Copies of this chain bind each other. A is one copy, B any other.
Amino acid sequence: MDQRLSLVTLAVEDVDRAREFYVDGLGWSAVVEEPGEVVMIRVGAHVILSLWARTEFEAEVGSTSWSGVPPVTLAHNVATRDEVDAVLDTARRAGADPVSGGTDRLWGGYTGYFADPDGFRWEIAWNPGSIAEIVIPE
Contacts and interface: CB of A to CB of B under 8 A. Distances in A.
Interface of A: 1-11, 26-29, 31-32, 40-50, 54, 57, 61-77, 87, 90-91, 113, 118, 120-121, 123, 125, 130-131, 134-137
A4 B61 contact: no
Contact of A45 (B44, B57, B68, B76): B44
A47 B8 CA distance: 12
Shortest 4 CB-CB distances between A and B: which pairs? A66-B66, A7-B75, A5-B43, A6-B77
B44 A4 contact: yes
A29 B54 CA distance: 33
28 contacts: A1-B87, A3-B26, A3-B41, A5-B47, A6-B77, A7-B73, A7-B77, A7-B125, A8-B8, A8-B72, A8-B74, A11-B71, A44-B44, A44-B45, A44-B47, A46-B135, A47-B135, A48-B134, A48-B135, A57-B71, A62-B68, A62-B69, A64-B67, A64-B68, A64-B69, A64-B70, A64-B71, A66-B71
A74 B5 contact: yes
Q: Which of A3, A46, A57 lies at the interface centre, i.e. has the most chain B CB atoms within 10 A of its CB?
A: A3
A75 B134 contact: no
Contacts of A74: 5, 7-9
A135 B43 CA distance: 11
